A = this chain, B = another copy of it.
């Protein structure tokens, strides 16, 4: 094993609309941002996001768990940079790590697990072979 897996960062423009009266991003926006980042990882690295997977390719990736630590407030002062990478690939499941930073400060970090299902029957099913191969190239330790 040699080369590091390629990295991926999704950038989010945080705005007034995302903030609550404490003048920071409302907590429930943060899992939303993290999911935006995972969907963008699919779109930008694999070429298809959740919409295309489901609609054009007949499979989906519903979530079974999310676990997020909130480390520092997110604000509209800086772009939110979200590092995304897969940390585990099972036969019918995949886990992601999402790490959000603003201006060098760690804001949140979370782990997310999906299962692969057929869109029609919503039944667990291994992903297409090219999805499997794609994910393996990006896999990292969840450290």
Contacts and interface: CB of A to CB of B under 8 A. Distances in A.
Contacts of A40: 13, 15
Q: How many copies does the complex hold?
A: 4
Nearest to A64: B70
The listed residue with most B CB atoms (<10 A of its CB), out of A17, A52, A122, is A17
A23 B26 contact: no
B50 A16 contact: yes
18 contacts: A15-B36, A16-B39, A16-B51, A16-B54, A17-B36, A20-B21, A21-B54, A22-B122, A23-B51, A23-B55, A27-B62, A27-B63, A27-B66, A28-B32, A52-B76, A63-B70, A65-B68, A66-B70
Give the 10 A-B CB pairs with smallest separation, nearest first. Answer: A16-B50, A51-B76, A28-B32, A67-B67, A16-B51, A27-B63, A21-B23, A31-B31, A28-B35, A19-B21
